Amino acid sequence: MRDVSRRTILKSGAAAAALSLLPRQGHAENGEIETHGLSSFGDLKQEPGFKHFAYVNPAAPKGGTLVLQIRQASGNQNFDTFNTLNIFVLRGDGAAGMGATFDTLMASSGDEPNSMYGLVAKRVRISSDKLTYRFILRPEARFHDGSPLTARDAAFSLMILKEKGHPVYRSILAQMTSAEAESDDVLRVQLSPQRSRDLHLAVASMPIFSERYWQGKDFEAATLEAPLGSGPYKVSRFEQGRYIEFERVPDYWGKDLPVNVGQNNFDRIRYEYYRDRTVAFEAFKNGSINYHEEFTSRIWATGYDFPAFREGRVKREEIPDDTPAPIQGWYFNTRREAFKDPRIREAIGLAFDFEWTNTNIMFGSYKRLTSFFENSDMKATGLPSPDEVALLEPFRDELPPAVFAEPYVPPVSDGSGQDRKLLRRADELLREAGCKREGGVLKLPSGQPFTIEFLDFQNSLQPHTQPFQANLKRLGIDARSRIVDAAQYQQRMNEYDFDMASRALVGTTTPGDSLRAVFGSEAAKTPGTRNIAGIAHPAIDALVEKIGNAQTREELNIACRALDRVLRAGHYWVPMWFKASDWIAYWDMFSRPETKPRFGSGAPGTWWYDAEKAKRIGRG
């Protein structure tokens, strides 16, 4: 899970087999192998010397301005506001778009689920035991002030992220033992023998900072000074909490590299912040925003009846998306006594009537999310296979019997909004867990009245949450929402100061290291991680390690299905909904390649400003 989220122990004597996982390589000294790319399972699509990715237009013109809202958040980023330009630490609310100001050792491909190719590093040498990686850096790499980007900077960046970065980065890099410069152009990275399968990919994807810039500065502090970067864009101007604008670096050192050709096409990228989705949509309608990804079914179904759309100046499309669905749901904070018992959590889930909500609020646009790996081969179905049972068997005594049966699927309601059969079952589960009803008030086994506060930072989910809460009240639970400002919300989530909260974690085709920060026991007690539910179970920890160490796609799928069974049986969330497509709308002033990447829509990263189209719609 990206964001949130992306990334075997190699047994002695398995070196030859390990080498077979890295095709199209040359041999280096000391038994090393040399390659132009890295992947999880060795399936590199691009040959050495490739010119560009197939899903870009290599002749795409540069120009124009893209104006949009933040679409995905990582590190300390906040969807509603920002007060720092350092997005890689826990402190503060990070600004959108800052990742584009930093280069990485390698860059990923949208046509492959788990492959990377040279950016700052032109190639990499790998030891026979796959514990030592020597990245050979391009001597032409430069920071925005013209100073050279060297292996010292890359080593500094990896080590400071491991020691002082956001908990997500610290967790991912935990098994990287060292990073040091052997020379200006050779970075040596040493991994632990317990390294996970994709740690080398995580290392290659980390931002590179200038060691000289950070000398004498507090890396963990919030700051409104843009840190020195080397990427295709740099900060142009901003107004704290309202907008931030980036300008393309015209002499960007890496603009002609194969991984960059046909991309980074806009002269300016501007992120606008709106705390209300309705206000944001009005901004799109009047042209203040020119690219919009829609997440509200009501607006998608009824909102596109304004002059610019009727006149054809605004377009909208539904683009298929084959990537795993986002893990979206209301998560329980199981650190709190009220939610320790899985029977209580299951009962609460039965009060959410998805069928009524989908029909009456979401125009029938969605399917029910049932799995933590929805829309993928990693989703558990039917009875566990013998291979899944083999992974689960050592923990049989610690797991509920349901793990070894068909995976839990939320029951389909009668669509009335208050299915009496499901509410009766919920009441039974609550009583089995020791809850008692007195005078219409449900009391926990401790004797305290059962209250639930749903924490959020905006009102957009209230139409969906309020009917859910009404059913909880029918069960005697005092359920209510607390809407706080974005900064307070982020602080409370970092400190796990909530009862229930909604969260959507982006799915990934090749889960790995990042799952520790989402489901791991260590993350459950570390402030600021993505494990907001407080999940802490030895079987889950073991399965996360199996996923991180899987050496084939089939091994990965088996381990993910086993983990899916355990998580679903644990009722750590009330799953929401998904659709296998993206809703996008835009002012008709862009063009794009004929093909899109296999994973994702390609929008707007591979698009470009079309001056003729802009002129036709009066925005040139």
Q: Minimum mean pLDDT among 132-136, 327-331, 456-460: which range?
A: 456-460
Q: Minimum mean pLDDT among 7-11, 386-390, 522-526: which range?
A: 7-11
Residue 468 has pLDDT above 70, yes or no: yes
Neighbours of 222 (CB within 10 A): 17
User: What pLDDT digit, counting tens, does each position of 365-377 carry?
Assistant: 999 999 999 999 9
- Predicted confidence at residue 513, as pLDDT, reads 78
d(CA 122, CA 106): 8
User: Reduced to 3 states, what is the DSSP secondary structure of residue 549?
Assistant: helix
User: What pLDDT digit, counting tens, does each position of 174-184 carry?
Assistant: 999 999 999 99
Beta bridge partners of 331: 501, 573
Q: pLDDT band at residue 600, thresholds of 50, 70 and 90?
A: confident
Residues present in the chain in total? 620
| Backbone CA torsion sign across 270, 271, 277, 279 | negative
Residues whose CB is less than 8 angstroms from the CB of residue 156 and which lie 6 or more positions away in sequence, other chains included: 209, 211, 214
- Predicted confidence at residue 27, as pLDDT, reads 52
Single-letter amino acid, residue 280: A
Q: What string of DSSP letters covers 410-446?
A: PPP--SSSS-HHHHHHHHHHHHHTT-EEETTEEE-TT
CA 594 to chain centroid, in Å, comes to 27
Are 329 and 501 spatial neighbours (Cβ–Cβ below 8 Å)? no
Using a 10 angstrom Cβ sphere, with 0-12 exposed, 13-18 middle and 19 or more buried, the burial of residue 225 is: exposed
User: Global pTM?
Assistant: 0.85
The two three-digit tokens of residue 286, written as one number: 């009047």
Residue 89 or 16, more confident: 89
From the list 63, 69, 245, the residue with the least C-alpha distance to 609 is 63
Q: Map out the domains of the chain as residue ranges.
A: 15-47+87-214, 327-573
Are 609 and 589 spatial neighbours (Cβ–Cβ below 8 Å)? yes
- If you search the block for the tokens 């759309």, which residue do you land on? 309
Q: Are strands 176-183 and 186-191 parallel, antiparallel or unpaired?
A: antiparallel
The two three-digit tokens of residue 332, written as one number: 């329980």
Span 208-233, mean pLDDT?
98
- Predicted confidence at residue 73, as pLDDT, reads 86
User: What pLDDT digit, counting tens, does each position of 78-95 carry?
Assistant: 999 999 999 999 999 999
CA 70 to chain centroid, in Å, comes to 13
Summary mean pLDDT of the chain: 93
Beta bridge partners of 293: 584
User: What pLDDT digit, counting tens, does each position of 506-549 carry?
Assistant: 888 899 878 999 999 999 999 999 999 999 999 999 999 999 99
d(CA 401, CA 339): 20
- Predicted confidence at residue 338, as pLDDT, reads 98
Beta bridge partners of 142: 148
| Backbone CA torsion sign across 397, 398, 399, 400 | positive
Residue 14 has pLDDT above 90, yes or no: no
CATH of domain 327-573: 3.10.105.10
User: What pLDDT digit, counting tens, does each position of 33-88 carry?
Assistant: 999 999 998 789 999 999 999 999 999 999 999 999 998 888 899 999 999 999 99
- Predicted confidence at residue 20, as pLDDT, reads 27
Same fold, 15-47+87-214 and 327-573: no
d(CA 243, CA 236): 11
Single-letter amino acid, residue 337: E
Q: Minimum mean pLDDT among 29-33, 311-315, 609-613: which range?
A: 29-33
Considering the domain 15-47+87-214, what is its CATH architecture?
3-Layer(aba) Sandwich (3.40)
